Amino acid sequence: MENIIRLAVQKSGRLSEKSLAVIEECGIKYSRNKVKLKAPSYNFPLELLFLRDDDIPKYVAAGVADVGIVGENVLAEEEAEVRVMEKMGFSKCRLSIGIPQAVGYTSIQQLNGKKIATSYPNLLGNFLSQNGVEAEIHEISGSVEIAPGIGLADAVCDIVSSGSTLLANGLKEVETIFRSEAVLIANPSLNAEKESILDQLLFRVRAVKKAESFKYVLMNVPNDSIEQIMNLMPGMRSPTVTPLALEGWSSMHSVLKEDDFWESIDKLKSAGAEGILVIPIEKMIV
Ligand code: ATP
Ligand code: ZN
Q: What is this structure's pTM?
A: 0.90
Residue-level pLDDT, tens digit, the chain, 286 residues: 468 999 999 999 999 999 999 999 999 999 988 888 999 999 999 999 999 999 999 999 999 999 999 999 999 999 899 999 999 999 999 999 999 999 999 999 999 999 999 999 999 999 999 999 999 999 999 899 999 999 999 999 999 999 899 999 999 999 999 999 999 999 999 999 999 999 999 999 999 999 998 999 999 999 999 999 988 886 767 889 999 999 999 999 999 888 888 888 889 999 999 999 999 999 999 8
For 93-180, which CATH class? alpha beta
74 lines ligand 1 (CB under 6 A): yes
Q: Which CATH class is domain 5-89+181-211?
A: alpha beta
Indicate the top mutation candidate among 17, 93, 141, 166 to test ligand 1's pocket, ranked by most ligand atoms within 8 A of CB: 93
Instruction: Calculate how far, in angstroms, residue 192's C-alpha sits from the geometric centre of ligand 1.
Output: 33
Determine which helix (DSSP H) or strand (DSSP E) holds 2, and give its type and residue range. none
**Ligand 1 within 6 A of CB of 280:** no
Ligand 1: which residue has its CA nearest to atom 27? Answer: 161
Q: Does the C-beta of 57 come closer than 6 Å to ligand 1?
A: no
Tell me the C-alpha distance between 79 and 123, whole Å: 10
- Domains 5-89+181-211 and 93-180 are alike in CATH topology: yes
Q: Are 47 and 39 in contact (CB under 8 A)?
A: yes
Q: Where are the domains of the chain?
A: 5-89+181-211, 93-180, 213-280
Architecture of domain 213-280: 2-Layer Sandwich (3.30)
